[in-house]
Amino acid sequence: MNIPFNDLRRDVAALREEIDAAIARVLDRGYFILGPEGRAFEEVFAKMVGVADAFGVGNGTDGIQIALMALGSGAGDEVICPALTAAPTALAIRAIGAVPVFADIDPATYTLDPARLHECITEKTRTIVPVHLYGLPANMPEILRIAEAHEIAVLEDCAQAHGATIDGKVAGSMAPIAAFSFYPTKNLGAYGDGGLVATRDSELAAKVAKIRDLGQSARYVHEVQGLNSRLDELQAAILQVKLVHLEEQNEARRQRAGWYREMLEDVPELTLPVEPVGYRHIYHLFVVRHPRRDALQAYLKDRGIGTDVHYPMPLNQQHVFSGSRTATGGTPIADEAVRTILSLPMFPGLTQEEVHTVGQAIREFAG
Ligand SMILES: Cc1ncc(COP(=O)(O)O)c(C=O)c1O
């Protein structure tokens, strides 16, 4: 049996008729950028998150950049993000001319460790970008408390956390502004690129509306520096269909995580993901840890089981970020994590039999 790391064809097949109808609706209307589909999607998405406003943008990377621009971060500023995240988090920081400062992570949750934020904060720190990595929210209560004490802005990177919560508060509603990605493999994925900026703050909302649309306050009135970064009508129509199913798909991921736990909880040397009390993990990725990760990955590959590593390198070791800053104590936890983490197959259409087969193979590997 071949078990893919992910299979988007299953995702498409489950919703095919609804998707076809949504696409046809847009084609029949003949209107493709900043129209009724985008507005309708933004409205329901804002409601799901629990914020006043949402603005569809071209992709998640742009979403972070646009949110940073709206916050007024720019050249000369330092912006803190975790060392273990997707490169776009920090690329967006560099895109506005700011310097990324890489914070270390919590060894249990893999998200930014608030206890070590002080190693990153200087008088130049303008914004902190916590990342809700793998579908688990970062420790927002603590991060927001520290940020407030230092008068630093906070922007949530929710690219991997559509519908994740802390004490019922949805990711994207905890800080004043947040960015989402709808990259096809995300829990809410478009069939192309897409992203969104969510905010509860009306001043930030007014800025984001302009920045994503060429800095325009009205047609041909360019008031501020902007990007051409708008969620198109086709993707917005598709995302409306998919948003209706987000909750059941997140639950399906949680169920698969439960199956993995049953299979794997007593495997020696294997560490399973944690879900702290009050947190709702939505398992964008199911990431385990093993001291012989490379051998385990090769063993699974030989048995037709797809896995991946998110991510193989802390960002402070990537060439493009060589001019950036790192926490004064370094990033020993992230440095160690990248050598031992392994992402197992995880998507709503994964069958119980497939999870069982993956679990069995891991048990065999562990002897
Ligand atoms: C944590 C994180 N931030 C930002 C992004 C950027 O999103 P996009 O690929 O839509 O630009 C991604 C996804 O790639 C991500 O996983």
| Distance in angstroms (rounded) separating the CA atoms of residues 170 and 148 | 20
Mutate-to-test residue for ligand 1 from 183, 193, 239, highest number of ligand atoms within 8 A of CB: 183
Q: Is the pTM of this model over 0.95?
A: yes
What ligand 1 atom has the least distance to the C-alpha of 193? 10
Q: Is the CB of 77 under 6 A from ligand 1?
A: no
- Please name each of the domains of the chain with its CATH number: 8-102+111-244 (3.40.640.10), 246-366 (3.90.1150.10)
Closest atom, ligand 1, to C-alpha of 64: 4
Residue 291 backbone class (left: φ over 0; alpha: ψ -120 to 50; beta: rest): alpha
Distance of CA 175 to the CA centre of its chain: 15
> Average pLDDT, stretch 216-221?
96
CA gap 85, 131 in Å, rounded: 7
Q: What is the pLDDT of residues 21-68, one digit of tens each?
A: 999 999 999 999 999 999 999 999 999 999 999 999 999 999 999 999
Ligand 1 centre distance from Cα of residue 22 (Å): 25
Whether 60 is in the pocket of ligand 1, judged by its Cβ within 6 Å, is yes
63 lines ligand 1 (CB under 6 A): no
Ligand 1 pocket residue status of 181, Cβ below 6 Å:
yes
Average pLDDT taken over every residue of the chain:
98
Q: Which of 151, 124, 128 is nearest to 138 (CA)?
A: 128
Express each pLDDT in 91-127 by its tens digit.
999 999 999 999 999 999 999 999 999 999 999 999 9
The ligand 1 atom nearest the CA atom of 132: 1
> Residue 274 gets which letter from DSSP?
P
Band the pLDDT of 1: cuts 50, 70, 90.
confident
Task: At 33, give phi and psi (nearest 5°).
Answer: -130, 135
Ligand 1 midpoint to CA 268 (Å): 33
Compute, in angstroms, the gap from residue 344 CA to the centroid of ligand 1.
19
Q: 214 near 228, Cβ under 8 Å? A: yes
Angstrom distances, CA of residue 178 to CA of 16, 67, 70, 169, 308: 30, 7, 11, 13, 27
What is the structure's pLDDT at 254?
A: 98
Output the CA 171–ligand 1 centroid distance in Å: 15
